[in-house]
Structure 1
């Protein structure tokens, strides 16, 4: 269901009645108060509802019990992150000390639990749906034996993975004696025991007494007896509406907080599970603490895992007494933060110019290439973000890579639930690098996003659009818009009817960004217009030429060379109400377009084919200009086509060097190399003088969008040189001459 604020219902153009109208900032924010009021009302009504899906399909407890090889109660006592054997992905190994065994033969007193993502030095991977564990956390683990591919298991410990990702852990609140998983809250840990043992028909085995849990229960009883006479009272807080992870400061007023923080803490509802659990900020987020007032930053990265979300705030004093605010804090958006290895200070990562074209190039893996409707749904989602926030994303040529490796490529692929996690709809893997700039005694740490990959669960029943999802379907475009929000560095919120709301259920359809989503994205992009203080990376350049006037009637669109040397353009429509004709357009650079032919509309949904018998050399782009009966126009997305006769052909110019001149009249001293490929590859270059001495040794990355390498030879003497090159299984030698 589209938000009514983004529909122009007054036009008599049948095309425009189906198209999202992108408001100007003034128009958008002049109405944002009304929209946010509606969102606030939805928050109030939502509080009484049970969540259906947290970007996951609920896995019943019975299924988790049956599928898990091992079910244990334990505590995370140690953690270490590491690269896999190929240096492609980062994982984290958690050493879990066992207290009770509910299922499985476990002779050891501990197991290793491997989760996706982690931090090694200044390299970091985060996975949007992965289970996050913190040292000291206790709970019940539903585990599958075995290590992920590329990880060598240690003989000293049992290596396991959580079954169903985040649903494979029931987290204990040791101080209060309660427990929760992503879809259920338990009033007591004993209730968890009963739920599992009653379904298994057997009791658990105690490995060692859980003293910390027992002590927490006793302390809770003692606290309840003193709470009435020595209570924490939260009287007010400001502001009432804020954001997380942006350094926004929250002031909490009341009594009984204590003269200093000590072991006291503030808790927020966890936006990653809709408030089923609570999260605590890092110590570095507290600015001041007195008996009557607390000032702190609202966190998106917390010491207990998770993001601060909308809801009531809880304050716990050093003596263990606590109090909850009467009012609800609204957190409109969250800027995803990261923390360095071994650190406790969150940082705001930047978007950068990763592709030398101002941003990031997205590539479809083979598993995505045979799903035309999925590609078009993904393109619509990308265009929505680009046209609304100017984030610099482009969809490049397809890749042969079917993995999410750390390889400077943003790859989109389908994967089974064994990869994504059982019940997970889709997940975004954000990969970061960092550096430390030192100035005197000051150390400034900066992180930036190098790439993002996305894995979409192939076991889910998807509606790719543009039609609405059926009863048991998930809306593909809605989920992809949400996952792209994670790539934009936005975290979850508890704010129904917004794109980054933690909960997407079957048939839920949100295909437009809402004001909170846009505000968060704009803040991230504005920060990213300044390059990292170190690391030598360039800032992102806003993309102002996005394909924003898209025809929603185009269901699929593609173009490719035939064996006869022509380009065949094919498309499918979902409806043709009010369409007069389709004009096929072509461009050498993706900016200046020419008409190459037209096809009349049939008036009903069907497949079309058009052949361009005189295609352009090397690289070209194709799109449709859709003309309506009232002479209005819209466009399809564009596709890149590479002439196969130009692929992997090595060209050098100018040769001789020095025939051309610069603007000041001096001889040109830049050697340009052209090498066209379908997907990202590495070109090795070695330049030798006539005596066989190597004077250059270069490695360049070439892609479908970047095929020109410039080499400055101003320091070389005139004469004859030999240029050797290699790329994959291809190689060659070219003679190069430099004039005086």
Structure 2
């Protein structure tokens, strides 16, 4: 009878900002910050470890006992230091959190520790204060005892005595010796001692049991306790090194080593250590992609995906808040489609859910975090929940659930275009995090989606051949056999993603090509769909509000300045119909309608506004005059209309009554002026009941306004033009659609 033991793993991959870089795990903490925030700083060695459940049986923690050799800061009791970290293994249960510090017996380093602020950790014991590493994995600068160097995820210290110790002491003062760390006599790795001549193959994938053969001399006739191969750690871009598990060595001889390439190995040189000497390779190993492994009982297990939803794979569900951010949900779906249609991973989008927690609850959720739920600086997190079983062929591991969380306070770019220099591109981050869900690890390849870091302003929206190759391998192995009684996946078919790119998209343009339009003018837009199928659906929006237009063209005359036009297209192709995509944004500049005035001079009428063309009207009939200034010969109500530099037509001006025989005759019908001529003070008398809300202006012969006022509650108005030069002036009275004018003469009284 087969015995099945179900196990559950949790792996978390975080993305943090690192100055101008964001590594998939951490935001860099300066040595000064770590020193200031730590209550205890020691140089120590791990002498024992023990993992245990918390009291609620919901978390696994590990206790590391540290033997102290130097005290840089804090008060040290006589007993060894007990450092608690999140994660560990208890029987058939393992909780792995990648941003936490992972140690093993024999590890040495400088530890930066603080009192725990975690209430669950505080309750682990009622009699002792709990110390945790400040900054998780950054809370330890690991020491290489052989070379007297040290490193953390962001920094390499080439000399303990000359570089690292002085930097710490400059912040803490002198340290006190508590013991001897016992550095061996450093031996220079001469060719006669140990030497790497070559290795093959030069290009491999990590985490798939690929083997490399390293040739040279001085490796030792057998693998000693302190003999091992080291690869560049892809999680830190190669600053730190990663060692294979003991079970991953196939052969160790004095002139040859055969070893499997571990999951976290990245592109770079190799190092071989033989007790107290080591050698680096001259050539670099190229790691094309990496597959995630579940580590259990000293062995690495490749993880597969299963037919979780009885429809071939997994159903993703967006939390309602994430889904309500249309641009964010569209960016995520574009990333999802990229994986679906390049590796045919059987992922599909399900209904929106009100669930808003990250947990092993049967929901593959996509969500924004709640306030400070994610640590400061975290961009996104991919949670992979593994289950395993043990049968005659050994342990097997599969993905039971996936969750992805995005930081709600990050300055995200949701556009299909390049992000701004201070923005992180959500589609690129989603593509990367989905890669982890696809069971791919980090690589060191700046052009690859699974590269360990991304910078603000940077974007990687297209899967490269290595990304696709790694994902396709996971698909092939996952469809070949059942895992722990689970049904194998059913990959998508090529017909589910028709078209060469297998990704739907839509681009919109304004007919005529100019984004500057005239107010109230009819403007047309056209949508050009790619992989839209025979009958795609369109949804035109102005400033995010649906216009009701459902065709590939959209025409409107109601645009306002700074309006944004977008179009959402839903493809009719199989496999893409559930993924509406949004177009580019068109930002519209609207030239407002202008209203010119007719300005009279001695024998002419002039438009108050400049234009590229003019139209004049007399008694509502357009006349042949097309210049800014005209000399009318007929009595009538004149108006003007202009077209500006953008070609936009103005409204027609208010009418102006012009009498070539004498303005006084025309105005006497409605009002009287006395005295005229005058030395500067005039009185205007309106005919009763003719005008309300009347405006009065006076202009000189150049058309310049020198006076403006309004009638109040009576029909008499005094105008004082004292101080102006003698000459002819033009009085204009406007009320509603009517305008009248009179000529007034200003002259000094003779004595």
Bin of the TM-score, shorter chain as denominator length: 0.5 to 0.7
Higher relative contact order (CA 8 A, sep 6+): 1
Change in Cα spacing, 1:608 to 1:312, as seen in structure 2 (3 Å) is: same
Aligned equivalents of 1:109, 1:452: Cα separation in 2? 42
The answer on whether the counterparts of 1:532 and 1:539 sit within 8 Å (CA) in structure 2 is yes
1:528 CA drift (Å): 0.9
Matched, 1:413 2:367: yes
Matched, 1:335 2:291: yes
Which residue in the other structure is 2:167 paired with?
Answer: 195
Match of 2:579 among 633, 637, 647: 637
1:267 CA drift (Å): 1.1
Aligned equivalents of 1:289, 1:583: Cα separation in 2? 55
Deviations 1:443-484 (A, max 9, x none): 511111111223333343322222322222222221221111
Match of 2:23 among 40, 54, 66: 54
Aligned equivalents of 2:44, 2:306: Cα separation in 1? 41
Which residue in the other structure is 1:608 paired with?
Answer: 546
Aligned equivalents of 2:506, 2:136: Cα separation in 1? 36
Aligned equivalents of 1:541, 1:87: Cα separation in 2? 36
The answer on whether the counterparts of 1:551 and 1:626 sit within 8 Å (CA) in structure 2 is no
Aligned equivalents of 2:445, 2:222: Cα separation in 1? 33
Matched, 1:434 2:434: no
1:173 CA drift (Å): 1.5
Aligned equivalents of 2:473, 2:285: Cα separation in 1? 20
Aligned positions of 1:494-643 closer than 5 A: 494-533=444-483, 535-544=484-493, 545=496, 548-551=502-505, 578-579=526-527, 601=540, 606-608=544-546, 625=569, 637=579
Aligned equivalents of 1:85, 1:537: Cα separation in 2? 32
Change in Cα spacing, 1:170 to 1:323, as seen in structure 2 (3 Å) is: same
Which residue in the other structure is 2:418 paired with?
Answer: 468
1:374 CA drift (Å): 2.2
The answer on whether the counterparts of 1:236 and 1:252 sit within 8 Å (CA) in structure 2 is yes
The answer on whether the counterparts of 1:275 and 1:309 sit within 8 Å (CA) in structure 2 is yes
Aligned equivalents of 2:371, 2:39: Cα separation in 1? 17
1:504 CA drift (Å): 1.3
Runs of 4+ in 1 over 6 A off after TM superposition: 580-585, 633-636
Aligned positions of 1:239-388 closer than 5 A: 239-263=201-225, 264-300=227-263, 307-318=264-275, 320-340=276-296, 343-365=297-319, 368-388=322-342
Structure 1 or 2: more helix by fraction: 1
Aligned equivalents of 2:204, 2:302: Cα separation in 1? 17
SS at match of 1:480: helix
1:635 CA drift (Å): 6.3
Which residue in the other structure is 2:137 paired with?
Answer: 166
Aligned equivalents of 2:387, 2:364: Cα separation in 1? 15
Aligned equivalents of 2:142, 2:112: Cα separation in 1? 11
Change in Cα spacing, 1:458 to 1:92, as seen in structure 2 (3 Å) is: farther
If the length of structure 2 is used for normalisation, what is the TM-score?
Answer: 0.63
Matched, 1:139 2:109: yes
Matched, 1:79 2:49: yes
The answer on whether the counterparts of 1:163 and 1:421 sit within 8 Å (CA) in structure 2 is no
1:511 CA drift (Å): 0.8
Aligned equivalents of 1:431, 1:162: Cα separation in 2? 25
1:255 CA drift (Å): 1.7
If the length of structure 1 is used for normalisation, what is the TM-score?
Answer: 0.63
Match of 1:219 among 173, 176, 185: 185
SS at match of 1:388: helix
Structure 1: 5+ residue runs without aligned partners?
1-49, 301-306, 555-575, 586-592, 613-622, 640-740
SS at match of 1:328: strand
Matched, 1:181 2:130: no
The answer on whether the counterparts of 1:244 and 1:298 sit within 8 Å (CA) in structure 2 is yes
The answer on whether the counterparts of 2:150 and 2:157 sit within 8 Å (CA) in structure 1 is yes
1:250 CA drift (Å): 0.4
Which residue in the other structure is 1:230 paired with?
Answer: 192
1:176 CA drift (Å): 1.8
Structure 1 or 2: more strand by fraction: 2
SS at match of 1:272: helix
Matched, 1:64 2:14: no
SS at match of 2:185: helix
Aligned equivalents of 1:465, 1:379: Cα separation in 2? 12
Match of 1:446 among 389, 396, 400: 396
Change in Cα spacing, 1:69 to 1:637, as seen in structure 2 (3 Å) is: farther
- Once structures 1 and 2 are overlaid, which stretch shifts more, 425-434 or 502-511? 425-434
Aligned equivalents of 1:406, 1:627: Cα separation in 2? 33
- Once structures 1 and 2 are overlaid, which stretch shifts more, 78-87 or 287-296? 78-87
1:52 CA drift (Å): 4.0
Which residue in the other structure is 2:7 paired with?
Answer: none
1:333 CA drift (Å): 0.8
- Once structures 1 and 2 are overlaid, which stretch shifts more, 169-178 or 450-459? 450-459
Aligned equivalents of 1:251, 1:515: Cα separation in 2? 26
The answer on whether the counterparts of 1:78 and 1:135 sit within 8 Å (CA) in structure 2 is yes
Aligned equivalents of 1:581, 1:339: Cα separation in 2? 46
Deviations 1:23-47 (A, max 9, x none): xxxxxxxxxxxxxxxxxxxxxxxxx
Structure 2: 5+ residue runs without aligned partners?
1-18, 509-523, 551-566, 582-751
The answer on whether the counterparts of 2:47 and 2:65 sit within 8 Å (CA) in structure 1 is yes
CA RMSD of aligned residues (A): 3.7
SS at match of 2:348: strand
Which residue in the other structure is 2:11 paired with?
Answer: none
The answer on whether the counterparts of 1:549 and 1:635 sit within 8 Å (CA) in structure 2 is no
Aligned positions of 1:640-651 closer than 5 A: none
